Structure 1
Amino acid sequence: MKTTAEQMERKPLSTWLLLASLYATQNLGLGFFWIALVAIMRQQGFPLERLGVIYLLGLFWVIKFLWAPLIDRIDFGRFGHYRGWLLITQAGMVLCLVIIGCFDIATQFNAVFAGCTVLAFLSSTQDIATDGLSCRLFSAKERGLGNGIQSAGGMLGNLLGGGAVLMAYPYLGWKGCMAIMALCTSISLIQVLCYQEKTWTCKPQSSRVLLSRFWCFWQTPGHKQWLILLLIYPVGNALVYAILTPMLVDIGWSMERIGIVMNILGSSISILTSLFTGWLLRKWARFTVLIGISIAYVIGLLTVALPIIGPPDAWRLNCALGACFLVHGGVYVLMSTMMMDRVSQQTPATDFTLQFSVFFLVMNMAAAGSTVLAGRLGYLAVVMVAFGFACLALGLSLYFKPSAKKKMVHGAFGDVY
């Protein structure tokens, strides 16, 4: 028999679908930038040196903490605090995609890139608002499932933006692909229009207080230890994930086969893992799941060495790729949930974005250094370094106890743990 409190915790299906749709939409752009757009540009004859500028669009997700306080500060009254921001960003993304589709990528690249830059800014801002709304909506028990749906939605967006759009490009062309992306994005806009955000009792903080949060957040008891875990945990996964595609190319796989495995099958496995991890976090204590994921992390990354130290036959490759995708979904959901555990109800968007920016920056730096290390020392060296970081993450996890007794801290930002 469920208690009244548990019944009040339950969110309607429309709320879960809205959040999944919003996370899918923002990753639709990321998947498009880093996979489909790069491939399309290369096919158009762009030199490799020029393709690197596309990856700079990911910087918006690294520095988005700079304007996150603005999202927490400005409330749109009857339109809703975070709902107001979602209406602006989602509508802007739809309009931006329509405009980008009006230009020719081969002859008007500068205009296309300018449009993609605006789209990246709007998408990262939408992410801040969605995270802020999620942090306030989910109870501690719901955060695991919520982040599982978040990750699954993100993987779905990556699958559509990086896989489906690229596969449709030869048949629909540039304008057709942009029209499909605009249509998918408009679905989330309609859902936001139908959503009614509750009125929050938390009052917006002043700009000065919000800016000081950049420093004060890390001074909260236990957060320095958490920062160390954030700096170490994503390294191993990022190192290995970055070398998968070039490794498959060197083995002799076709581009089509790599696209299907990496973008469709890989994303599908990560979606299932994300949802499963969310379910585990709902049933078990954070510390138990952290240790379980960390052990799987160590084993999974070591498995990637199988096709490198032996013949790259089908079973070795399947084990390596499957292990990598299984780890990827679990790590993301676990870390996102633990980030959400540490936000204040007064400044949820700022607090979550601060943590995620650190996580995302480390992940991108590791990925960038991975190919350089592989070029000098080989793929096996990268896997061994990644394995070392995974072991370090496991050691830190054994010391770090998120389920230990929580000490409530009262301050200008409300009650935080």
Structure 2
Amino acid sequence: MRFIEFGATTPTAGAHLKPLNGIGKVLMTRMRLLGLQLLFGWMNLALAVPAIYLMFGMPVVMRQHGWSGTEIGLFQLAALPALFKFLFAVPVQRVRLGSGHFAHWLLMLCAVLLALYWQLGRENLIDDRLMLFTLTFAISIAATWADIPLNALAVRWLPRDEQLRAGSIRSAAMFLGAIVGGGVLIVIQARQGWQAPFWLMGVGLVLGMLPFLALRSWTAPRMAMDEDDAPEPCVLADWKGFFSQPGARQWTLLLLTSFPFIGAVWLYLKPLMLDQGMALERVAFIVGIVGGLTGALFSLIGGRLIPLLGIARAIVLYLLVALGALILLTLSIWTPLEGEAWLIACAILVAAGMGMVSALMFGLTMFFTRRQRNAMDYGLQVTLFTASRLAVPVFAGMLLDVLGYGGMLMVLTLGVLAAFGIACRVRETVARSTQPMLAGRDESA
């Protein structure tokens, strides 16, 4: 009788435990994914801050120390390595550094960055123009290169339906990096001296490196499972294979047109507001801090809304927000409406639209990165994105000199309108091509 009672009660107790075990597994999985998302977000921030600090924050200091406008302009050439990310991706994809080689590539390049921080921070180089440019150029190469294995790991470790969120977090990290590198570190340097920003950037990088050191062994079985044992194709065949993916050509057209025009508007917002009579400190606060926080917030909101809206609707809706922001900003220049409130509202709306569009672009970039060609596909897409992002502001600057702010904004608004038209035509193709990727999510995640 005791045996019967024991046997009868045991399955009942197990039945109560099974749902609890299932809930526990779900919670553990979500906590692991959240930890990975935060880790990738932190590392994207740590890699973005040095370039922003040196190329967008430092010109203020340079001007104070007698640098000419030409010298400051030529210093921006240190950003050129970003155009060659597709070439940096080749050794990352093909040169194996043992099991978990993407993590090893990332750690090696971060170690190079730390060495460059130490070299640059040893003494004040603001008057040694050549050495400052050389070390900044080297930092740009190392940070650009390290971005490839970092985001290749994001494609490999995160399930497909988490990669849109990773894109939004990365976009938010870029906006926060602009606040830190373009504002906070400049203040710290003014108060604590030349070395302080480099120490802080080094500490932030080390904090991001430590989890990757611990996760190297964890990556080994997943990498072995995902690797293709077939012989590597030639590099040109790899790039051609990217464009052979369903929807890849339509996506590339969207990638080239969606962000650069609103990005160019953001670049010229500070001069525009200054020329409208606003004080420098007020412009820096509104665009640099409030605008940056707005962009980061709407990057996260945009990433959360994509699964609810669907990719096809999100593509059109986000570009419509960007288009509306540019129309209102253009009207604020053309019409006799006066007062800072209207211009500030337009600037905040531009930041919101840019945050939503960039979150979508970064997320879909991961979607169109093949798991067997993580580094190559990611490097190629980011190179295309960077080339258009750098080319449009140069064109916009020429328009500003010839047509003024009103004419420049009108042309850039027409550019976003063209991107919106392209989005309406390709959205269904791009959305359909992502469905198999979402269906093929990692079972082990």
Q: TM-score, normalised by structure 1?
A: 0.91
Which sits farther off after the overlay, 300-309 or 16-25? 300-309
Note if contact 1:145-1:279 (Cα within 8 Å) is conserved in structure 2. Answer: yes
1:44 equivalenced with 2:72 (yes/no): no
1:191 equivalenced with 2:211 (yes/no): yes
Q: Matched residue of 2:431: which SS?
A: coil
Aligned to 1:313: 339
**What is the RMSD computed on CA atoms of the aligned residues?**
2.4
Unaligned 5+ segments in structure 1 are 410-417
1:269 equivalenced with 2:294 (yes/no): yes
- The match for 1:69 among 79, 84, 90 is 90
Q: Distance in 1 between matches of 2:45 and 2:229?
A: 28
Q: Matched residue of 2:350: which SS?
A: helix
Aligned to 2:40: 19
- The match for 1:180 among 195, 200, 211 is 200
1:291 equivalenced with 2:319 (yes/no): no
Note if contact 1:30-1:158 (Cα within 8 Å) is conserved in structure 2. Answer: no
Q: Distance in 2 between matches of 1:292 and 1:66?
A: 34
Kindly state the Cα deviation for residue 190 of structure 1 after the two structures are TM-superposed. Answer: 2.5
Kindly state the Cα deviation for residue 405 of structure 1 after the two structures are TM-superposed. Answer: 6.2
Note if contact 1:23-1:127 (Cα within 8 Å) is conserved in structure 2. Answer: yes
- The match for 1:244 among 269, 272, 276 is 269
Task: Map 1:253-402 to 2 at 5 A.
Answer: 253-309=278-334, 310-400=336-426, 401=428, 402=430
Q: Distance in 2 between matches of 1:354 and 1:6?
A: 35
Kindly state the Cα deviation for residue 74 of structure 1 after the two structures are TM-superposed. Answer: 2.5
Give the percent of matched residue pairs that are identical in Structure 1 and Structure 2: 22
1:155 equivalenced with 2:155 (yes/no): no
Give the letter for the 2:407 counterpart: A
- The match for 2:51 among 17, 30, 41 is 30
Q: Matched residue of 1:77: which SS?
A: coil
Change in 2 beyond 3 A, CA 1:171/1:297: same
Q: Distance in 2 between matches of 1:263 and 1:61?
A: 23
Q: Distance in 2 between matches of 1:6 and 1:282?
A: 19
1:93 equivalenced with 2:113 (yes/no): yes
Note if contact 1:237-1:386 (Cα within 8 Å) is conserved in structure 2. Answer: yes
Can you list the C-alpha shifts for 1:115-160, whole angstroms capped at 9, x where unaligned? 1111111100111111111111222211121111111122222211
Note if contact 1:71-1:129 (Cα within 8 Å) is conserved in structure 2. Answer: yes
Note if contact 1:73-1:204 (Cα within 8 Å) is conserved in structure 2. Answer: no
Q: Distance in 2 between matches of 1:408 and 1:322?
A: 37
1:120 equivalenced with 2:140 (yes/no): yes
Note if contact 1:73-1:206 (Cα within 8 Å) is conserved in structure 2. Answer: no
Note if contact 1:31-1:157 (Cα within 8 Å) is conserved in structure 2. Answer: yes
Q: Distance in 2 between matches of 1:312 and 1:97?
A: 46
1:235 equivalenced with 2:271 (yes/no): no
Task: Map 1:200-219 to 2 at 5 A.
Answer: 200=223, 201=225, 202-203=227-228, 208-219=233-244
Note if contact 1:132-1:348 (Cα within 8 Å) is conserved in structure 2. Answer: yes
Change in 2 beyond 3 A, CA 1:299/1:82: same
Change in 2 beyond 3 A, CA 1:405/1:370: closer
Note if contact 1:144-1:280 (Cα within 8 Å) is conserved in structure 2. Answer: no
Q: Distance in 1 between matches of 2:332 and 2:167?
A: 32
Note if contact 1:168-1:177 (Cα within 8 Å) is conserved in structure 2. Answer: yes
Which sits farther off after the overlay, 21-30 or 100-109? 100-109
Can you list the C-alpha shifts for 1:231-272, whole angstroms capped at 9, x where unaligned? 222232133122211112212333332222222211111110
Which sits farther off after the overlay, 387-396 or 227-236? 227-236
Note if contact 2:365-2:381 (Cα within 8 Å) is conserved in structure 1. Answer: yes
1:404 equivalenced with 2:432 (yes/no): yes
Change in 2 beyond 3 A, CA 1:268/1:73: same
Q: Distance in 2 between matches of 1:92 and 1:259?
A: 33
Q: TM-score, normalised by structure 2?
A: 0.85
Give the letter for the 1:113 counterpart: F
Which sits farther off after the overlay, 231-240 or 14-23? 231-240
Q: Distance in 1 between matches of 2:169 and 2:201?
A: 21
Can you list the C-alpha shifts for 1:28-68, whole angstroms capped at 9, x where unaligned? 01211232121111111101101112211222112111120
Kindly state the Cα deviation for residue 211 of structure 1 after the two structures are TM-superposed. Answer: 4.3
1:144 equivalenced with 2:164 (yes/no): yes
Note if contact 2:116-2:135 (Cα within 8 Å) is conserved in structure 1. Answer: yes
- The match for 2:190 among 170, 180, 186 is 170
Give the letter for the 2:40 counterpart: L
Note if contact 2:295-2:352 (Cα within 8 Å) is conserved in structure 1. Answer: yes
Q: Distance in 1 between matches of 2:337 and 2:78?
A: 38
